[in-house]
Amino acid sequence: MNFEENNTDQINAARARICDYYTRLNEFFLKRSDLLKLMMVAAAAQEPMLFIGRPGTAKSLLVSVFCQGLGMKQDDYFEYMLTKFTEPSEIMGPVDINELKGGRYLRKVAGHLPTAKIAFLDEIFKANSAILNVLLTVINERKYYQEGKPLPVPLVCMFAASNEIPDFGEFDALKDRFIIKAETLPVRDSCFHELIRTGISFESRVHNREKPWKSDCTLDDFVLVHDYVVSTVLPAAVQRDDRVILGDERVTTAFKAIISVLADELKVEITDRKLIKLYKLIMTQAFIFNGGNVTREELKILCYCGNNFSDVRKIKDYIEERLANLD
């Protein structure tokens, strides 16, 4: 896609709306600003994001409010809780019996994952192998199959949640697709009274069917920013000299150093795909929130690139502490 000069106003407006939306959503959550920013970046970069945490730590609430605020239609949002008995029909839509009588194996996909723009899959690691294969194709290639023919899916972003990240090899591919894995920690101890107030306010709003988080930002803004970043920002950025591929020499050096420590010393698996996606996510966040400048704030995305539960906890503190030395 080529962006004419007059379209840059549109893109800047979309970027501003996303920033306003992020600020607005922050008002309704306690200590979730990092997660909300990651959600904005994940949606704009069209990369999946995984929430890990105990039940009752606002994982699904974050996604549901995020989608409500964007004013999404019901069919555009797909949410499902997976169990080990969930079968592909529940995710991809049931087989069309009338078509089957005519000898065609087609699914009625309306209202299911193939037609969703944002999807939220709870307990994703409970998925069995049949679901896993379908999900990998949808996440990675943005397509699904009807009678062996690949068809595109309009999915912009997939969010998923889990209480744990299993170590079984069969989930390795799926884990690697979720570059961002963020832990939702309870805030009870640090914000006891505020938590009760905020929680009750939420309950009241739901009861009164109020949605004060609705904004003028839409999913189209995220799509517009994504198209611009992928077609213009990233190709220009990678043309830069090696030492400043993130725009600033110190930041680029820090990025390389952290990746090396993660891989060699902290034993976090950094696949080639993960490295490329991390670069894309960092640049996307810089574009939306920092006028394209990559600073240590953008490098904080590296805190969320662990592969399993122990990684996620281990590397967050390590990276935050080291990045504090960067300014």
Partner 1 sequence: MRFLHPDQIAHWYKRSLQKSGYKELYAFARDFWKDLVRRGSYAVPPGFVARLMERFMSVPVGEKETARLAFVSEDEYLEKIRAAEGADRLEGIFLLTGADRDTVIAQSIFQQIIERLPPFQHDDLVFSDSDLEKSFTLGHMVPGGFDVETALEKIYARALDDFARTEFRFYADDIFEIGHPDLFKRPADRLFYRRMMRTMKGLGLWTRSVFTLKEESSWVVAKYI
User: What is the contact surface with partner 1 in residues (CB under 8 A)?
Assistant: 250, 253-254, 256-258, 260-261, 264-267, 314-315, 317-318, 322-323, 325-326
Distance in Å, CB of 261 to partner 1, minimum:
7
Pairing of strands 180-183, 157-162: unpaired
Q: 3-class SS at 158? A: strand
Cα–Cα distance measured from residue 182 to residue 301, given in angstroms and rounded to the nearest whole number: 10
Instruction: Give the Cα separation of 211 and 202 in Å (integer).
Output: 10
For residue 79, list its beta bridge partners. 120
For partner 1, the closer of residues 229 and 254 by Cβ is 254
Q: How far is the CB of 266 from partner 1 (least distance, A)?
A: 5
Looking at the Cβ atoms of 87 and 317, the one nearer to partner 1 is 317
* Closer CB to partner 1, 75 or 317, in the complex: 317
Dist CA 284 CA 297 (whole Å): 12
In angstroms, the CA 21 to CA 37 distance is 10
Identity of the residue, 69 or 247, whose beta carbon is nearer to partner 1 in the bound complex: 247
Strands (E), the chain: 49-52, 77-81, 118-122, 143-146, 149-152, 157-162, 180-183
Residue (91 or 312) nearer to partner 1, CB: 312
274: amino acid identity, one letter = K
Both tokens assigned to 17? 């709306």
Q: Which is nearer to partner 1, 156 or 278 (CB)?
A: 278
- Is the Cβ of residue 43 or residue 323 nearer to partner 1 in the bound state? 323
> From the CB of 314, what's the least distance to partner 1, in Å?
5
Structure tokens at 49: 């994001």
Q: Would you give the DSSP letter of residue 72? A: -
39 vs 302, beta carbon nearer partner 1: 302
Look up residue 230 and give its two tokens: 């992928």
Three-state secondary-structure class, residue 299:
helix
Q: Whose Cβ is closer to partner 1: residue 18's or residue 303's?
A: 303
What is the nearest approach in angstroms of partner 1 to the Cβ of residue 164? Answer: 19
Q: Are 120 and 161 in contact (CB under 8 A)?
A: yes
What is the spatial distance between Cα 131 and Cα 280, in angstroms, rounded to a whole number?
Answer: 27
Q: How far is the CB of 303 from partner 1 (least distance, A)?
A: 12
Closest approach, Cβ 182 to partner 1, in A, equals 18
Say how far apart CA 207 and CA 308 lie, in whole Å. 38
Least distance between partner 1 and beta carbon 270 (Å)? 13
> Cβ of residue 251: shortest distance to partner 1, in angstroms?
9
Shortest approach of partner 1 to residue 104 CB, angstroms? 51
CA angle 197, 199, 204 (to 5 degrees): 95
Rounded Cα distance between 133 and 145, Å, is 11
